[in-house]
Amino acid sequence: MVALIPYITAGDPDLPTTAEALKVLDSCGTDIIELGRPYSDPLADGPVIQAAATRSLARGTNFDAVISMLREVLPQLSCPVSLFSYYNPILKRGIGKFMTIIKDAGVQGLVVPDVPLEETEILRMESSKNNIELVLLTTPTTPTDRMKSIVSASEGFVYLGELRWSDWYSHRCQCPSLDFATRHQTEATSKPVAVGFGISKPEHVKQRCVLPQLSCPVSLFSYYNPILKRGIGKFMTIIKDAGVQGLVVPDVTLEETEILRMESSKNNIELVLLTTPTTPTDRKKSIVSALEGFVYLVSFVGVTGTRTDVSARVQTLL
């Protein structure tokens, strides 16, 4: 069985957008949504989520505002939401009070990435009292005996934090493969295993052999710079071998797509470009004639209409 557990940071770019994102993810068939509470010192996160937390905090996002938003949105969702929070804000609020607040808001799970097993007694007691599933983390290098202790204390599913989770760390060590790590974990528990922290590249997906188990096609969304950095041809070969069938590149103009289109066609990858309601008709015709599969029509609202930090490159494209 394969489950999809997307992660978003509350309040980035703002809480109304977060509310809409939760609804969209739910409507897309998400199994569980992991909602990150922005924190000023997110040591377990890489630069992308750190930047999201920084933007959110800069806009004034706080715990009470997040909870207020959740109280309104969660009754409208069919999938459970698990809150991702570092331990210090929980301690500051008071563990019992914190659990009561998130329970009343409709949250069903809690992921605390920076608390060791030895300090979870009160957390586990209060989460159990409030029917909150507490999810603890293990890694591929966690000793088997300790892993067994962690997974027995974890509720619902077990979070396998792949060692690439800290970007500074990933460049300094070679970690066991995800496949090995998952086998190692399933030897310690029969609970479902969720693999996270560091699933950021096509080869990670390939390593988990997820796509061959799906009946629907998967299209990858990627900005252009990482593709250029890897090399367009190499990038296309990698995602093709992983089983990806489509590619959405939001920040590339039609005039720059010649090599992209050639390499995607060579690898049977359907390249999807963007248009908007204000794209001139002649240009729109040129864009859609260059596309494979489907056409991506982006509404201005939520892209440039409600954001002031959209890059000049994307504004020019739109």
Amino acid at 118: E
**Cβ distance 139 to 176 under 8 Å?**
no
User: 45, 126, 133, 162: which is the annotated catalytic residue?
Assistant: 45
> Which tokens in the block code for residue 2?
């394969």
Burial of 38 from C-beta contacts in 10 A (0-12 / 13-18 / 19+): buried
Q: Where are the beta strands (DSSP E) in 163-314?
A: 193-196, 219-221, 246-248, 270-272, 274-275, 296-297
Residue 231 contacts by C-beta under 8 Å, 6 or more apart in sequence?
Answer: none
Q: 132-139 long-range contacts, Cβ below 8 Å, gap at least 24?
A: 132/99, 132/102, 132/103, 132/107, 132/108, 133/82, 133/108, 133/109, 133/157, 134/109, 134/110, 135/82, 135/109, 135/110, 135/111, 135/159, 135/194, 136/112, 137/111, 137/113, 137/161, 138/185, 139/163, 139/181
Residue 234 contacts by C-beta under 8 Å, 6 or more apart in sequence?
Answer: none
Q: Is 72 a catalytic site residue?
A: no
Residue 61's closest CA among 33, 19, 22, 99? 19
Phi, psi of 196 (to 5 degrees): -145, -170
Phi, psi of 135 (to 5 degrees): -110, 120
User: 12, 26, 34, 126: which is the annotated catalytic residue?
Assistant: 34
Please report which helix (H) or strand (E) contains residue 90, including its range: helix 87-93
Length of the chain: 318
Q: Is 114 a catalytic site residue?
A: no
Amino acid at 149: S
Residues marked active site are found at 34, 45
